[in-house]
């Protein structure tokens, strides 16, 4: 059984670019995407739902690229 987790990790520009390029390649090929975040390997299945979220408030703005899926094998 997986435990709850809420982690935000910052990367350098070159690390962001590398991760996004791998993500785009997987999406174009219809493949799952794997990424390691804070010492845990995450597998985003090809069936994951993709959305973009924008928030504004208290003088700040936030843009999130979000993938959501159920924990199935």
**Confidence (pLDDT) at 60:** 96
Residues 42, 52: Cα–Cα separation, whole Å: 19
- pLDDT score for 1: 53
Instruction: Tell if the pTM clears 0.75, that is, is over it.
Output: yes
Return the closest-CA partner of residue 20 out of 39, 42, 11, 46. Answer: 11
**β pairing state of 33-37 and 40-44:** antiparallel
Q: Which residue has the tokens 């703005």?
A: 61
Q: Percentages helix, strand, coil for the chain, rounded to the nearest 5? A: 25, 40, 40
Q: What pLDDT, in 10s, does the model give residues 19-72?
A: 999 999 999 999 999 999 888 999 999 999 999 999 999 999 999 999 999 987
């Amino acid at each position: 059984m997986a435990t709850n987790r809420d982690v935000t990790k910052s990367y350098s520009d070159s690390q962001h670019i590398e991760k996004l390029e791998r993500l785009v390649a997987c999406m174009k090929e219809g493949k799952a995407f794997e990424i390691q975040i804070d010492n845990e390997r995450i597998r985003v299945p090809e069936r994951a739902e993709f959305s973009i979220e924008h928030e504004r408030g208290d003088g700040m703005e936030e843009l999130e690229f979000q993938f959501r899926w159920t924990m199935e094998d």
